[in-house]
């Protein structure tokens, strides 16, 4: 098929058709544009304005190869090898959770409300390192510790810390078995732990179910708050007075998760909606 395709417009139309088997036409078109941009550096606007341009055979082959992988459900972030988070390049590969827009939104909230921050931050369950890196670069005078126990995630986080020139202390530990005493006294504790329940799997897209690490996504139906209970216990002991805890949560369990914070220890316990109006974040301040 590659030798019959000539122009950007023809290539876009063809790979949109390939991708529409799994995604809506609008989503498929957006993904087609992203693939073309990745291998030609032409923005979506440029693709429309100069659709009669003809990329070379090698670029066409890269575009079609990426589209074939994406049409089988592989996430574009894994195909490209990276994503962008708070304007920083974060490299990801199979075995490492792809950073979500919601996580970026929460991180931006923390940055906006703590301008000039110079204290200590702990990121529990750092994954690719995206939150810790963004906070380290936003607050260069701060001390940032990131914790995870996945070998793939730790490798990715270490690479991303170096790639972005961030200053992050990376520790190998399992949140669920972690001795709170090993966590530094922190002014901010942030976490985006696994929170999707097993019975919510059926609503998830194949590109997530077949490609992203389940251990970074899912929790048992009967113990859906398992990570949050431990995180709150850690924060109870290791967050400084007046310090803040930020959590990304399951929208269906937001109020229940917020209820884990004892009002005797915590003040200003807030459930915050994301840009789509879903109860996605919890912010609490230590008394």
pLDDT tens-digit profile of 187-242?
999 999 999 999 998 788 888 888 889 999 999 999 999 999 999 999 999 999 99
pLDDT confidence bin for 4, thresholds 50/70/90: low
Q: What is the pLDDT of residue 1?
A: 44
Q: Would the pTM count as exceeding 0.85?
A: yes
Calpha distance 195→190 (Å, rounded): 15
Q: What is the pLDDT of residue 139?
A: 98
Q: What percent of the chain has pLDDT over 70?
A: 98
Q: What is the mean pLDDT of residues 150-158?
A: 98
Residue of 23, 60, 21, 10 whose CA lies nearest to 40: 60
Which residues are CB-contacts of 115 (< 8 A; sequence separation ≥ 6)? none
Q: What is the pLDDT of residue 207?
A: 83
Strands across the sheet containing 266-273: 168-172, 143-148, 120-124, 186-191, 239-248, 279-286, 266-273
Residue 47 pLDDT exceeds 50: yes
The residues spanned by each domain of the chain are 2-72, 93-286
**93-286, superfamily in CATH?**
Vaccinia Virus protein VP39 (3.40.50.150)
Calpha distance 278→239 (Å, rounded): 27
């Amino acid at each position: 098929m590659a030798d019959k395709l000539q122009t950007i417009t023809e290539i876009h139309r063809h790979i949109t058709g390939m991708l529409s088997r799994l995604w809506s036409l609008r989503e498929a078109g957006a993904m087609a544009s992203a693939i073309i941009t990745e291998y030609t550096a032409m923005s979506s606007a440029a693709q429309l304005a100069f659709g009669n341009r003809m990329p070379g055979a090698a670029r066409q082959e890269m575009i079609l190869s990426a589209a074939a992988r994406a049409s089988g459900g592989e996430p574009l972030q894994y195909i490209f090898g990276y994503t962008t988070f708070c304007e920083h390049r974060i490299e990801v590969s199979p075995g490492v959770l792809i950073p979500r827009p919601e996580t970026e939104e929460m991180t931006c909230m923390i940055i906006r409300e703590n301008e000039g921050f110079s204290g200590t931050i702990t990121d529990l369950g750092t994954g690719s390192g995206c939150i810790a890196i963004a906070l380290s670069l936003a607050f260069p005078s701060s001390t940032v510790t990131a914790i995870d126990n996945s070998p793939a995630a730790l490798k990715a986080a270490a690479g991303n810390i170096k790639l972005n020139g961030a200053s992050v202390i990376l520790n190998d530990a399992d949140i669920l078995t972690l001795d709170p005493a090993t966590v530094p006294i922190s002014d901010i504790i942030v976490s985006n732990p696994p929170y999707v329940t097993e019975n919510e799997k059926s609503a998830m897209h194949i590109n997530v179910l077949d490609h992203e690490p389940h251990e970074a996504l899912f929790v048992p139906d009967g113990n859906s708050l398992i990570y949050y209970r431990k995180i709150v216990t850690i924060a109870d002991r290791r967050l400084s007075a007046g310090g803040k805890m930020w959590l990304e949560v399951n929208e269906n369990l937001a109020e229940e998760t917020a209820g884990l914070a004892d009002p005797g220890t915590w003040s200003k316990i807030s459930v915050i909606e994301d840009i789509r109006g879903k109860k996605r974040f919890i912010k609490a301040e230590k008394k």
